Amino acid sequence: MKSIINLILLSLTCVTFSQEKVLDTLEGKKQNLDEVIVESIRVKYSSPISHSNISKVELKSRNLGQDLPVLLNFLPSIVTTSDAGAGIGYTGIRIRGVSAQSTNITINGIPFNDTESLGTYWVNLPDFASSIESLQVQRGVGTSTNGSGAFGASINILTDANSVKPYAEISNTVGSYNTFKHTIKFSTGEINNAFEFSGRFSKIDSDGYIDRSFSDLKSYFLQGSYKMGGTAVKVLTFGGHEKTYQSWYGVTKEQIKENRRQNPYTYENEIDNYKQDHYQLHWNEQLNQSWSTNLGLNYTYGRGYFEQFRKDDSIETYGEIVSSDINQNGTELGTTDLIRRRWLDNDFYVLNASLLYENSKFNMTFSGTYSNYSGDHFGEVIWARQFNQNAKIRDRYYQGNGKKTDLSFFMKTSYSLNKKIELYGDIQLRNIRYKTRGLTSDLVNMKLNESNSFFNPKFGFSYTLNPSSMLYFSYARANREPSRGDYESNSNIKPEQLNDFELGWRYRKNGIRLNLNSYYMLYNEQLILTGALDDVGSPIRTNSGSSYRVGIEADAKIQVSEIFSIESNFTISSNKNKQILSPYNGIIFDFGKTNISFSPNFITSNVLVYSPLENLKLSLLSKYVGMQYMGNTDAEKSKLDSYFLNDFNISYEINSNSIFKSIIVTGLVNNILNTEYISNGYYYTYDDTWSSPGSIQTLDGAGYYPQATRNFLLGLTLKF
C-alpha cells in the first residue's frame, strides 16, 4: 500500500503552482499566490497577534548548513541549543521559555510536530532552510492553526515559490569540525506559462564540537506546479536521512573541567538512524475576486532506529532472547553485554480544506483538518554475548503501537469597523483520540484509550492611531493534550490549558519599525519540563498546577542610513510556578512559588548591518541569555549561567556575464570572543538511603551540553 501511494504522489510532481500577484489589502503590498497555501493560518500586519516574518533573503546570508532553529536565534524571545554543540544535528528551540513540544510547526499548512511526542526534529530535514520561501513566527497562542495546539508559539513555513525563469545553483560550505555542505538547486522556469519543475539535493557532514558527535545528513526537495485561469496546483515531495552519533547524555561539571568536549559514549555505532519522507498536494481555486478554496493532502512516512551497546544489562529486560553471563565459579550473573536497536515505524496522513472570503473591509476563513497517525514501536537485539537456543538475531523483545486521530475546525474573521478599528474573532473546535497497545521499551503494558475535546476561542481588536502607528489587544484560549512520553511517566497526566492576553503597539515610518508587546500567559496544569530525561534522552514533563508567564517584548529595525541599519530586540519576563509540591527526603515538600524551568528572565539580541557596497553586507550579531533553572525547585545545582555571544557574518555577491550569473561568497564566524558557555542541560533528584542509614536523603545531579567556542563556516554559491 505504501509503495502504491508513494508512486502516485511522486508521479504528480510534474505539476506546478502560480506566482501571480494579488494585492494584500492590509499591508498594501503584492503577495504571491503561493502564500494562499498558508493564508488561513498566518496573520497580517494589522492582526492583534505578536509575530515576526522572515523571508528567503533574510535566511540565505547565514544559511551555511546549520539547522533552522539556529538561523532563527536572533528573533525576539528565542533561545536555541545544539546537542553536538555547533548547530548541526539535533538542535532545539524555545520561545518565551516554552519547549518545542509546545510549539506548533507547520509546513505549507501541514503539521510537522511528531504526533506522539509532539516535538519537532529538524535533523530529519537537513538543509531545509534552502527550500523555504518565507516563514512566520507567532508568539503566544497565536491564531488557530492545524495540528497540535500552540502553547507558547507557532512557526508556519512556506516552501519555495515557483520560478518564472529557469536557474541552477551549486552551493558548498566548509567549516570547523570537518563540516561540509553540498547543495544543488534547479528550476525549469515556467513552461508555456503553466508548468514548472524544481528541486534541491543536499549533503551535510560534520564531526560536531562534542567528541564523536558526528552528523551524516542527506535531504531532497522536489516540486512541480501548474496554473491555468483560477486554478493553481502544487505537488511536492521532500525528506531526509540522518545518521547522528549520540550526544544527548551530556557531561557533568567535573567532566567539563577535564575536557568540555568529551562524550561518555564509547561504542562506535551508538547512532541514531532515521529516514522521513513527505508527500504533499495543494490545490487552490480562485472562484472570483472574493472567494477562494484550498485543499491540502499529505502523507509522511518515517522509519528508523537508534542503536545502543549495553554492558552488564539485566537479561530480564529481553525475555528469552539472551542468556546470562556466567562467572568463574559457574554462577549465572543475570546480566550480559548486548547491542540493541529501538525502532519507530510510522505513517501520517493529513487532509486540510479551507474556504476564504475577502473584500476591502471583511475577511473570513472556514477551515477543517483531519489527520490519522499510526506508529509501531519495537526493539531488537542484534548482538549478544550469548543468545538463547531458540532465539534469533533481530527477535523483538518489546512491541507496541500508537494510533492517533485529530479532527479540528476553525472559523476566523477580521472586520474593519471603520478607518481606525479592526475587529478579530477566531473559534476552534478540536477532538483528539489516542489509543495504544503492547509493551513500552520498559516492558510495561501500555494500554490507553484517551479522548479529548477542546474549545479554543480567540478575539481581539486593533486601533489605528495614525498612518504610522497602531495599538492592539487580544485574548486567546488554548488547550493541549499530553504526549506519549507524558503518559508513560504518569498515567494520570492531565491536559494543559492556557489563557493568553496580549497588548501591543506597532510603528512604521521613515525607515523605522518598532514593535512593543506585553503578554500575560496564565496556565492551568501546564506541562513543564522537570529538567530530567528519559532513557532515550527526551525531556520528562509534569503538570505544574497553576503557573504564569508575564513579560514585555520589544523589537526594532532602524535604517540609520543607506549603508547602515540596526535590528534589536529584548524580552523581560517573569515565569513562575505558583506552587510546587515535590518529594524531598521522604516527604512531600512544598517549595512554594518557584521559577519555571528553562525560562530566563532576560533575553536580548542585536544585529548591526553595514553595507558599504551594493553587493557587500557585513553583520555583527550579538545575543545575551540570562540565568535560567533546569528544574522547578530553584535548586542551586539546576542553574545555567547567563551567557553573551557575538557572531560575525559577511556576504558578497559578484555579478557576472560569463558562465555564472553571479558568485556569492558567504562567511560566518560564530562566537568570535571564544566564550565557553552552556545553553542546555538536565537536572534530576534521587533518594539515597546508603549515606544516611535509617533515613532518606535526597541528592541531586545535573548534566550539561557545552556549546562550541569560536568556529567558522565559509560558503560559495555559483548561480547559472
- pLDDT tens readout for residues 146-168: 988 788 899 999 999 989 999 99
Mean pLDDT of all residues in 219-226: 97
20 or 457, which is more confident: 457
CA distance 151 to 118: 11
pLDDT band at 1; cut points 50, 70, 90: very low
Cβ burial of 102 (10 Å; 0-12, 13-18, 19+) is buried
Question: Do the beta carbons of residue 204 and residue 217 sit within 8 Å?
Answer: yes
Who contacts 560 (Cβ-Cβ below 8 Å, separation ≥6)? 566
CA distance 148 to 163: 32
538 or 118, which is more confident: 118
Residue 23 pLDDT > 50: no
183 or 391, which is more confident: 183
Q: DSSP letters of 67-122? A: -HHHHTTTSTTEEEEESSSSSSSSEEEEETTB-GGGEEEEETTEE-S-TTT----G
Mean pLDDT of all residues in 67-78: 96
How high is the pLDDT of residue 21?
37
34 or 556, which is more confident: 556
Question: Do the beta carbons of residue 396 and residue 138 sit within 8 Å?
Answer: no
| Site of grid cell 562567511 | 667
Question: Do the beta carbons of residue 270 and residue 245 sit within 8 Å?
Answer: yes
CA distance 676 to 664: 32
Residue 478 pLDDT > 80: yes
How high is the pLDDT of residue 466?
95
Taking only the tens place, the pLDDT of each residue in 569-605 is 999 999 999 988 777 777 778 888 999 999 999 999 9
How high is the pLDDT of residue 538?
60
Mean pLDDT of all residues in 361-365: 93
452 or 7, which is more confident: 452
CA distance 242 to 202: 12
Phi, psi of 606 (to 5 degrees): -145, 135
How high is the pLDDT of residue 14?
34
CA distance 221 to 237: 6
The stretches of 456-609 forming alpha helices (DSSP H) are 484-489
Q: Quick one: how far is CA 461 from the chain centroid?
A: 29
How high is the pLDDT of residue 4?
38
Taking only the tens place, the pLDDT of each residue in 323-347 is 888 887 778 889 999 999 999 999 9
How high is the pLDDT of residue 281?
97
Question: Do the beta carbons of residue 324 and residue 34 sit within 8 Å?
Answer: no
Mean pLDDT of all residues in the chain?
Answer: 90
How high is the pLDDT of residue 137?
97
How high is the pLDDT of residue 542?
75
Taking the CA atoms of 110, 115, 119 and 125 in sequence, report the sign of the dihedral they define.
negative
Question: Do the beta carbons of residue 530 and residue 632 sit within 8 Å?
Answer: yes
CA distance 680 to 531: 10
Mean pLDDT of all residues in 259-274: 94
Q: Where are the domains of the chain?
A: 167-719
Cβ burial of 472 (10 Å; 0-12, 13-18, 19+) is buried
Round to the nearest angstrom and report the end-to-end CA distance of the chain.
Answer: 40
Q: Which of 511, 518, 477 is nearest to 76 (CA)?
A: 518
Please tell me the CATH superfamily of domain 167-719, with its number: TonB-dependent receptor, beta-barrel domain (2.40.170.20)
The stretches of 143-297 forming alpha helices (DSSP H) are 253-259
Mean pLDDT of all residues in 645-664: 92
How high is the pLDDT of residue 7?
35
The set of cell numbers assigned to 484 is: 506519549
The verdict on pTM exceeding 0.75 is: yes
pLDDT band at 568; cut points 50, 70, 90: very high
Q: Which of 73, 117, 90 is nearest to 646 (CA)?
A: 73
**10-19, 115-124, 181-190, 437-446 — which is least confidently predicted?**
10-19
Residue 3 pLDDT > 50: no
CA distance 139 to 160: 24
